[in-house]
């Protein structure tokens, strides 16, 4: 997977198409990610001992990883990501359009 936590991504399909946000979590086994402020759903919760707030709570739901694209910080566009080895044999992620290192 080429998308990591703290990356800025843009949603390409669905009800939140065009929205940008930071990745909060990557669920590799399921192929899902949580993006801050995107794909908000309402959950009805009961009051419990550790949860004081009861009622309707809005929170993020996971998105399929194929529905988002990483936004390059250098060119500020949604781009595909490639991989490249540096001279010191480190593997890094690069922007496919401007060839800048993303990591």
Do 58 and 47 form a contact (C-beta atoms < 8 A)? Answer: no
pLDDT of the residue at 78: 93
Q: What pLDDT score was predicted for residue 1?
A: 67
On the question of pLDDT at 83 being above 80, the answer is: yes
Does 10 score more than 90 pLDDT?
yes
- C-alpha separations of 34 from 46, 48, 89 in Å: 23, 25, 31
Instruction: Break the chain into its structural domains and give their ranges.
Output: 1-47+56-71, 75-103
| Cβ–Cβ under 8 Å, residues 28 and 1 | yes
Q: Give the pLDDT confidence score for residue 66 in this predicted structure.
A: 94
The predicted pLDDT at position 46 comes to 86
Name the CATH architecture for the domain at 1-47+56-71: Roll (2.30)
The residues, any chain, with a CB within 8 Å of residue 39's CB and separated by 6 or more, are 11, 14, 15, 16, 60, 61, 62, 63
What would the mean pLDDT of 3-12 be, rounded to a whole number?
94
Residue 54, pLDDT > 80, answer yes
């Amino acid at each position: 997977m080429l998308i990591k936590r703290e990356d800025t991504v843009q949603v390409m399909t669905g009800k939140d198409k065009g929205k940008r946000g930071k990745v909060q979590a990557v669920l590799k086994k399921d192929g899902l990610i949580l993006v801050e402020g995107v794909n908000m759903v309402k959950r009805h919760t009961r009051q419990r001992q550790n949860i004081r707030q009861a009622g309707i709570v809005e929170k993020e739901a996971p998105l399929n990883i194929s529905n988002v694209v990483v936004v390059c910080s250098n060119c500020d566009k949604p781009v595909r990501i490639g991989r490249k080895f540096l001279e010191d044999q480190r593997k890094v992620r690069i922007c496919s359009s401007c060839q800048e290192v993303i990591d």
